Amino acid sequence: MDIISLIITILATFTTFSLFSILTGVDNPFFALAENIYVGGAVGLTIVVSFTWIVSNVWAKISSNPLANWPLVISLVLGLMMLTRIHPKYSYLARIPICIATGVGVAISTRAIVFSGLLYQIRATIAPIFNLSDPMTSFTNLMIVVFVLTALSFFIYTREIQGPLKVSNKIGRLVLFTAFGALYAQTYMGRVGLLLGRMETLLIPETSLYISVIIVLLILVTIIVLTKYYPETMKKLNP
């Protein structure tokens, strides 16, 4: 591992475990520092990358032939109008590009969502439920149809829930709870996946493992010492 990689590894490990330090249940300066570094770094990168893109693409096209690229001139002016938000007197001007961006976004997505969010979903629900050669698929398709109908019946609010509708409503409620459970499990899996991926970077190879152990001990000992023996200093260090 060369010196640059080593410094990067140490910084990355320190930032990660500083963020994890909030799990100790104590507000500490490590967490505050890492949090601010992350936010500052991300915003800085966004500004630099976006500005570079505007200069190398938008500005380059406008300066080469402003008449042919007149739509880009309008886009650039609208983009600059967004920046007026920082001045209370002219902040109203920022509403214009925001309105246009919202309008364009809604317009381009509405047509597509009708298909992907509605028609294709309905088409997928209309599946063959009588297929003797493949009983398992038939059963799955039947379950999809039954669960979609019962879940939909749960959202009927315009009439009193009684009789067969009550049974369907109850099944629909259970179906929804099952779906929420599956979604929660999926989210848990995702979070564990994130943790695993990060821990893998922090523990493999061996050099990273030693760096991680040293940094964890350093952070934990500092937090314990500051909390137990120097609570005033801890308070001052916390922003």
Partner 1 sequence: MSSIFKICATIDRRVWYALIFLLVGYGLLRPVGFPLIVGPEVKQAYAVIESLKPGDVVLINYDISAFGWDEIKGSALSMVPHIFSKEGVKVILFTDQDQGYIYLETTLKQIGSPMKGYDKFPWYEVQGKKYLEDYINIGFIPGFDKAIAALASDFRGVVGRTDWYGNNIEAWLDANGIKSASDINMIVTLDCAGAQGSWVNYWYLPYKTRIVNAMIGVSAPASINSYNVGMLEGIVVSVRGAAEYQYLSKYYGTALISMDAFSMLQFMLIIAMIIGNVGYYFWERKQEKVS
CA dist 115 and 220 (Å) reads: 53
Q: Decide whether 44 or 167 has the Cβ nearer to partner 1.
A: 44
Q: Provide, rounded to whole angstroms, the least separation between the CB of residue 160 and partner 1.
A: 33
Q: Which of 3, 4, 23, 86 binds partner 1 (CB under 8 A)?
A: 23
Toward partner 1, which CB reaches closer, 61 or 85? 61
Supply the DSSP string of 148-197, one letter for each residue: HHHHHHTT--SS---THHHHHHHHHHHHHHHHHHHHHHHHHHHHHHHHHH
CB 161 within 8 A of CB 141: no
* Chain position carrying tokens 């809604």: 106
- Site size with partner 1, rule: CB under 8 A: 45
Per-residue contact flags (x/-) with partner 1 for residues 202 to 231, judged by CB under 8 A: -xx----x----------------------
**Which residue type, as a one-letter code, is found at position 186?**
Q
Interatomic CA distance for residues 156 and 144, integer angstroms: 19
**Taking Cα atoms as reference points, which of 46, 30, 43, 69 lies closest to residue 223?**
30
Nearest approach in angstroms of CB 77 to partner 1 is: 17
Q: Which stretch binds partner 1 (CB under 8 A): 156-164, 170-178, 199-207, 221-229?
A: 199-207
Which positions lie near partner 1, rule CB under 8 A?
23-25, 38, 42, 45-46, 49-50, 53, 56-57, 61, 104-105, 108-109, 112-113, 115-116, 120-121, 123-124, 183, 186-201, 203-204, 209
